[in-house]
């Protein structure tokens, strides 16, 4: 289950997510409407057991403690949560208090994902972040003091003004804190962002390709030396602390999205909620009208599309994809569908293939965008 909180103190210059600042009164009305949606949607999906909940954004940690409690109370009242469900909230430094942390624990949240991005204050300012590295450290300390034992830290490389040396320093500073999980992504310049206007078509203003590649290799080598194992192309964890929610996305587990613009994949259909905040907050969560707002752009995936997603999402996992799972899911051997592609990629040393699994090689991971695109069927 994904729950979208679309509010943030300030839109970061690189961010293209459905999010932005809003008055406290708007945030309060949104939470009330979200609670109504939780109740309404639960009637449509009886019999499901929720194995993970992810409160993402935006900045969910902006919400008042009682608002997060109300959301989680209604989730538990209307859906069956697994006893060991992973429940994550995204938090930004400078928005986390002990009162909030105590409320989150009461609400059953057991994992916190902190958006740091960089341990260098100049790089943070270049990103348009509202916090300093020192504020992050204070937030991290509070999280530990509150008794949270499953913490992710988000990092970004290839940033404006970033060097291999400053990236190494960020990795060292973060690893020293001993979080359970680190997500390390490379900056993407997305349309509709301030960064797109500033940097698109100006690669000289960003780290060059050689520097970006070295950052990539440094990340893998350094984090592995500190006891983190790479289980997905951009994600590293201590054993047993992998993000179960994201693994669900990569392995085809069904998910329900709640809140503004949230996407869902259920019973072979993809759809999303209303994306206009004013319309969402005015919706009546009743009958066919609500169905129309909450089930937009419905797409039924064909067998071909399901196979494609099985391969190019599943191969993001370092353990690869299982031929047995492919046969069980689609009733046909993977080799019968992708034999030529598998053979070509194997000969080029981009994948390994045996009787059980298909995996990307180290070289294949390096150029994963190309490799994964090869699994799109004509």
pTM for the model stands at 0.96
Longest dimension (CA), the chain: 60
- The whole-number pLDDT of residue 306 equals 97
- The whole-number pLDDT of residue 291 equals 85
Gap between the Cα atoms of 92 and 130, Å rounded: 9
- The whole-number pLDDT of residue 57 equals 95
Euclidean distance between the first and final Cα of the chain, in Å? 32
DSSP state of 301: P
DSSP state of 61: G
- Nearest Cα residue to 219 out of 210, 209, 229, 206: 229
Q: Contact, 200 vs 189, CB < 8 A? A: yes
* Residues listed for the chain: 378
User: Would you write out the chain's pLDDT as a tens digit for each of its 378 residues?
Assistant: 999 999 999 999 999 999 999 999 999 999 999 999 999 999 989 999 999 999 999 999 999 999 999 999 999 999 999 999 999 999 999 999 999 999 999 999 999 999 999 999 999 999 999 999 999 999 999 999 999 999 999 999 999 999 999 999 999 999 999 999 999 999 999 999 999 999 998 989 999 999 999 999 999 999 999 999 999 999 999 999 999 999 999 999 999 999 999 999 999 999 999 999 999 999 998 877 788 888 899 999 999 999 999 999 999 999 999 999 999 999 999 999 999 999 999 999 999 999 899 999 999 999 999 999 999 997
- The whole-number pLDDT of residue 232 equals 97
**Alpha helices in 114-243, H assignment, sequence order:** 121-127, 133-145, 164-176, 194-199, 209-225
Q: Which domains does the chain have, with CATH numbers?
A: 2-249 (3.20.20.70), 304-373 (1.10.10.10)
- The whole-number pLDDT of residue 286 equals 83
- The whole-number pLDDT of residue 76 equals 97
- The whole-number pLDDT of residue 215 equals 97
Using left for φ > 0, alpha for ψ between -120 and 50, and beta otherwise, residue 178 falls in left
Gap between the Cα atoms of 129 and 308, Å rounded: 36
Gap between the Cα atoms of 302 and 50, Å rounded: 25
Q: Contact, 234 vs 185, CB < 8 A? A: yes
């Amino acid at each position: 289950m994904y729950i979208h909180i679309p509010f943030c103190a300030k839109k970061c210059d690189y961010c293209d997510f459905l999010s932005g600042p809003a008055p406290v009164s708007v945030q309060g009305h949104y939470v009330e409407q979200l609670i109504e949606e939780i109740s309404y949607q639960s009637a449509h999906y009886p019999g499901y057991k929720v194995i993970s909940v992810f409160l993402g954004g935006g900045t969910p940690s902006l919400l008042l403690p009682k608002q997060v409690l109300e959301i989680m109370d209604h989730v538990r009242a209307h859906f069956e949560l697994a006893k060991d469900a992973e429940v994550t909230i995204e938090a930004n430094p400078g928005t986390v208090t002990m009162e909030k942390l105590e409320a989150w624990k009461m609400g059953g949240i057991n994992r916190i994902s902190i958006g740091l991005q960089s341990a260098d204050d100049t790089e943070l300012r270049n990103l348009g972040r509202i916090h300093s590295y020192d504020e992050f450290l204070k937030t991290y300390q509070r999280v530990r003091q509150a008794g949270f034992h499953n913490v992710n830290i988000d990092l970004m490389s290839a940033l404006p003004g970033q060097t291999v040396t400053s990236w190494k320093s960020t990795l060292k500073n973060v690893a020293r804190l001993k979080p359970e999980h680190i997500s390390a992504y490379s900056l993407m310049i997305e349309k509709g962002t301030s960064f797109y206007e500033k940097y698109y078509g100006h690669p000289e203003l960003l780290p060059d390709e050689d520097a970006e590649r070295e950052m990539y290799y440094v990340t893998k080598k350094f984090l592995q030396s500190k006891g983190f194992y790479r289980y997905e192309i951009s994600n590293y964890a201590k054993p047993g602390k992998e993000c179960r929610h994201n693994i669900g996305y990569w392995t085809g587990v069904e998910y329900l999205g709640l809140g503004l613009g949230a996407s869902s994949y259920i019973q072979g259909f993809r759809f999303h909620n209303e994306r206009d905040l004013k319309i969402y907050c005015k919706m009546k969560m009743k009958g066919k009208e609500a169905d129309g707002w909450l089930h937009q752009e419905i797409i039924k995936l064909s067998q071909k599309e399901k196979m494609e997603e099985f391969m190019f999402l599943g191969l993001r996992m370092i353990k690869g994809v299982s031929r047995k799972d492919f046969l069980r899911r689609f009733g046909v051997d993977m080799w019968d569908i992708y034999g030529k592609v598998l053979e070509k990629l194997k000969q080029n040393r981009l994948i390994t293939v045996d009787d059980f699994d298909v995996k990307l090689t180290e070289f294949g991971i390096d150029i994963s965008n190309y490799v994964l695109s090869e699994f799109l069927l004509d």
